[in-house]
């Protein structure tokens, strides 16, 4: 069903801030304001550094930049528009894949406009596609336990439907292996399938196994230690069956699954291994140790050893241009990144619930 060809994209991941006022119980980055040294200092990357990283990514053969961050209390919808403008000014031809449904919801709310109006503004600014993150499990019984102050199931679906209706393609994700049961898996998959049958806007489905090691709810004894290896394989296989004829691409996360897991998931129905990333901080902070970058050469060699045919793609699953391929296979080493320290003066007494994430 998924064939022998396996695709991947050369991209760069940028998490522009680790400051967030939400309290997701699975988030290994959250820390109270009295514990600022727990997992590194709070940061808020400057526009200049975002531009530099995007230019460096382009110079290393990237076709996409993927950008998300914490929900900084000083961020508004204009902040997200400015981030897009920064990237377009620096590298006009770089595909911008950015902003979770939570960020879109918050951005529209801070500007006092509708989701559709904000999404159209993002599109006009140069945003290309959106990641379908912040989905976790699309069942409010589960969300009340793991992310009670986050957007609910209906709101997540509203953002995705609005995005599709204004012309965006998006991805869809699931985070599993924590407190949910298989009936919650079913509800999640069917909710996405129902929306896809109406809009056709999802390009891929990405199962994300819960990384438990540093997650607050695991450390408090309130969650499982992630899915079993068998459950992870089953999720990819079931997704392939549920989305047959509706979502062609099932992606497996090498950052979370490792190479052994990638191979097993490819055998179970996955056909894509995601991006090279260049930088990855979220999963590493949660306790995974599969690295920050998997080079195109490394990916292709690994896939060939698995008796698969590798294919470098764009975000829209077209073949990557030959000029991009040549640069990617001869990319220079990455420069050291700089995370601009967050300005403590931005935090007031009103922000007693502020947490910083990394």
Per-residue pLDDT, averaged over 18-40, amounts to 66
Give the model's pLDDT for residue 84: 99
SS3 250: strand
Residue 289 pLDDT more than 60? Answer: no
SS3 label, residue 197: helix
Q: pLDDT tens-digit profile of 91-137?
A: 999 999 999 999 999 999 999 999 999 999 999 999 999 999 999 99
What are 136-161's pLDDT values in tens digits?
A: 999 999 999 999 999 999 999 999 99
Q: Which residue intervals of the chain are DSSP H helices?
A: 47-59, 77-90, 101-111, 115-125, 140-146, 153-165, 182-199, 216-219, 229-242, 254-268, 282-286, 296-305, 322-328
Cα separation values, 165 from 61, 152, 161, 198, Å: 31, 20, 6, 10
> Which one is predicted more confidently, 287 or 14?
14
Q: Which residue in 291, 287, 285, 289 sits closest to 274, CA to CA?
A: 291
Neighbour count for residue 297 (Cβ, 10 Å): 13
Span 298-356, pLDDT tens digits:
999 999 999 999 999 999 999 999 999 999 999 999 988 877 777 643 433 333 333 33
- pTM assigned to the model: 0.91
Contact 19, 42 (CB under 8 A): yes
Q: Structure tokens of 264?
A: 């097993």
Number of H helices, E strands in the chain: 13, 12
How far apart are alpha carbons 17 and 354 in whole angstroms? 13
User: CA torsion, points 276, 278, 282, 286, in degrees to nearest 10?
Assistant: 80
- Which domains, ranges and CATH numbers included, belong to the chain? 5-330 (3.20.20.70)
CA distance 70 to 264: 32
Cβ atoms of 287 and 28 within 8 Å: the answer is yes
> For residues 129 and 171, what is the distance between their CA atoms, to the nearest angstrom?
8
| CB contact at 8 A, 227 and 210 | yes
Cα end-to-end span (Å), the chain: 38
| Rounded-to-integer distance, Cα 151 and Cα 186, Å | 20
């Amino acid at each position: 069903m998924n064939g022998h060809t396996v695709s991947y994209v050369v991209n760069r991941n940028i998490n522009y801030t680790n400051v967030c006022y939400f309290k997701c119980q699975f988030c290994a980055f959250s820390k109270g304001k009295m514990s600022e040294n727990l997992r590194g200092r709070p940061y808020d990357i400057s526009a200049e550094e975002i531009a530099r990283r995007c230019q460096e990514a382009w110079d290393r053969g990237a076709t996409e930049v993927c950008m998300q961050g914490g929900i900084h209390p000083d961020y508004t919808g204009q902040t997200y528009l400015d981030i897009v403008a920064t990237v377009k000014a620096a590298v006009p031809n770089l595909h911008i894949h950015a902003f979770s449904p939570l960020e879109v919801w918050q951005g529209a709310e801070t500007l006092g406009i509708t989701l559709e109006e904000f999404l159209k503004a993002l599109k006009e600014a140069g945003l290309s596609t959106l990641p379908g993150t912040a989905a976790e499990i699309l069942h409010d019984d589960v969300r009340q336990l793991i992310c009670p102050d986050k957007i609910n199931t209906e709101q997540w679906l509203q953002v995705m439907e609005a995005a599709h209706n204004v012309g965006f393609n998006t991805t869809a994700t699931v985070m599993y292996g924590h407190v949910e049961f298989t009936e919650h898996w079913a509800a999640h998959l069917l909710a996405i399938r129902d929306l896809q049958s109406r809009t056709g806007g999802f390009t891929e489905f990405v199962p994300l196994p819960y990384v438990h090691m540093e997650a607050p709810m695991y450390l408090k004894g309130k969650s499982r230690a992630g899915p079993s290896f068998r459950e992870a394989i089953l999720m990819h296989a079931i997704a392939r069956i549920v989305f047959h004829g509706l979502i062609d691409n099932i992606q497996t996360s090498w950052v979370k699954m490792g190479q052994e897991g990638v191979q097993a998931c490819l055998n179970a129905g996955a056909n894509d291994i995601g991006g090279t990333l260049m930088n990855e901080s979220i999963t590493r902070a949660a306790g995974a140790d599969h690295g920050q970058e998997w080079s195109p050469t490394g990916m292709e060699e690994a896939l060939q050893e698995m008796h698969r045919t590798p294919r470098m793609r764009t975000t829209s699953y077209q073949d990557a241009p030959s000029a991009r391929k040549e640069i990617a296979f001869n990319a220079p080493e990455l420069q050291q990144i700089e995370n601009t320290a967050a300005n403590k003066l931005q935090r007031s007494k009103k922000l007693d619930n502020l947490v910083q994430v990394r």
